[in-house]
């Protein structure tokens, strides 16, 4: 059978070409076709701000083609996010948020709800090095020489990781991409298998709230457990006459080990981190906004309210 591109939707507006113009449209968007889970896909347009996505269907006879043309107009009335979910079964998500925005906590909620893993670049890098994979060995050599792991290596790490069985229904990227260049490289890698990012959750929190969250945080080094002087104080905490916690009384609830504060969990350090985050993240979100897949979450609300908003934004299982 032959393969034609019959559907090319503009996700920025949710509009599709009418069926009367369909064959004219085919030649303009013809690109390589990829297959996934019984549906064939045409490679997404590679541009700085891609707005079009073409879906290819396999047709054997003219009658089938005619039926498709008559029905495609109605199918294209779906909202952009619904269209993405319809044609891209694997849920590929990103979480963005400044330090203290709560994306780690909410990522755990999403994992529990959808059954897809939350992937951090640090964990992937350590696992690849420990497993001695070819990409892991490249990264190890770079780090041993005191260099920074390149974008190409990071993309290769992600490409290997998302082939694992636990990613078969999707995955959540946390902490990547960090630059527009990484974003484009990630898009290109996903497009090779006819896929794309399907949902981005951007957690927005006022700077004052972030400062309260970050500067009141205490950590247990061995377990990574996190405490907060206001929101989750350790059982041992005692306050001094100035209303601040006495450091010697800050101990882990389970092991009784002394807690510590990270050196960058200060108001001054947070200001620099926020500036860096905003400078790098805004271009990435702008890159994806035209696709209709960016959802802004008020991360300053009560935790239960934030969770409800996040779960409501998720695609159905």
Active site residue 178: yes
Q: H/E element holding 49?
A: none
Active site residue 262: yes
Residues 154, 160 contacting (CB under 8 angstroms)? no
Say which of 86, 221, 262, 271 is annotated catalytic: 262
Active site residue 217: yes
Residues 22, 64 contacting (CB under 8 angstroms)? no
Say which of 103, 161, 213, 291 is annotated catalytic: 103
Say which of 109, 140, 273, 295 is annotated catalytic: 273
Active site residue 126: no
CA atoms within a 13 Å half-sphere pointing along the CA-CB vector of 275 = 6
DSSP string, 152-199: HHHHHHHHHHTTSGGGTTEEEEES---SHHHHHHHHHHHHTTT----E
- Give the residue among 12, 57, 28, 25 at the shortest CA–CA distance from 194: 57
| Local structure of residue 217 (DSSP, 8 states) | E
Say which of 31, 178, 289, 295 is annotated catalytic: 178
Say which of 184, 217, 251, 291 is annotated catalytic: 217
| Contacts with 143 (C-beta within 8 Å, 6 or more apart), sequence order | 149
- Write out the catalytic residue numbers: 103, 178, 217, 262, 273
């Amino acid at each position: 059978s032959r393969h034609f591109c019959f559907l090319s939707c503009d996700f920025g507006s949710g509009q599709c070409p009418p069926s009367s113009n369909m064959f004219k449209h085919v030649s303009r968007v013809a690109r390589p076709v990829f297959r996934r889970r019984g549906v064939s896909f045409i490679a997404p347009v590679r541009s700085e701000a891609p707005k079009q996505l073409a879906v290819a269907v396999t047709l054997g006879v003219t009658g089938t083609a005619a039926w498709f043309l008559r029905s495609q107009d109605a199918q294209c009335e779906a909202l952009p996010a619904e269209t993405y979910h319809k044609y891209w079964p694997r849920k590929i998500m990103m979480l963005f948020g400044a330090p203290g925005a709560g994306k780690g906590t909410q990522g755990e909620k999403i994992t529990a709800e959808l059954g897809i893993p939350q992937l951090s670049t640090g964990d992937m890098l350590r696992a690849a090095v420990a497993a001695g994979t070819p990409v892991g060995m490249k990264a190890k050599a770079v780090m041993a020489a005191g260099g920074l792991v390149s974008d190409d290596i990071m993309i290769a790490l992600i490409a290997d990781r998302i082939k694992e069985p636990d990613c078969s229904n999707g995955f959540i990227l946390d902490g990547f991409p960090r630059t527009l260049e990484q974003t484009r490289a990630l898009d290109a890698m996903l497009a090779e298998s006819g896929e794309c990012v399907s949902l981005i959750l951007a957690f927005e929190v006022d700077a004052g709230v972030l400062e309260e969250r970050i500067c009141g945080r205490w950590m247990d080094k061995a377990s990574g457990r996190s405490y907060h002087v206001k929101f989750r104080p350790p059982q041992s905490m005692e306050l001094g006459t100035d209303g601040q916690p006495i450091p010697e009384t800050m101990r882990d609830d389970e092991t009784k080990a002394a807690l510590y504060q990270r050196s960058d969990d200060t108001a001054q350090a947070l200001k620099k981190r926020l500036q860096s985050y905003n400078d790098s993240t805004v271009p990435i979100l702008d890159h994806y906004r035209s696709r209709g897949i960016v959802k802004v979450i008020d991360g300053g609300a009560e935790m239960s309210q934030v969770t409800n908003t996040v779960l409501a934004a998720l695609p159905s299982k």
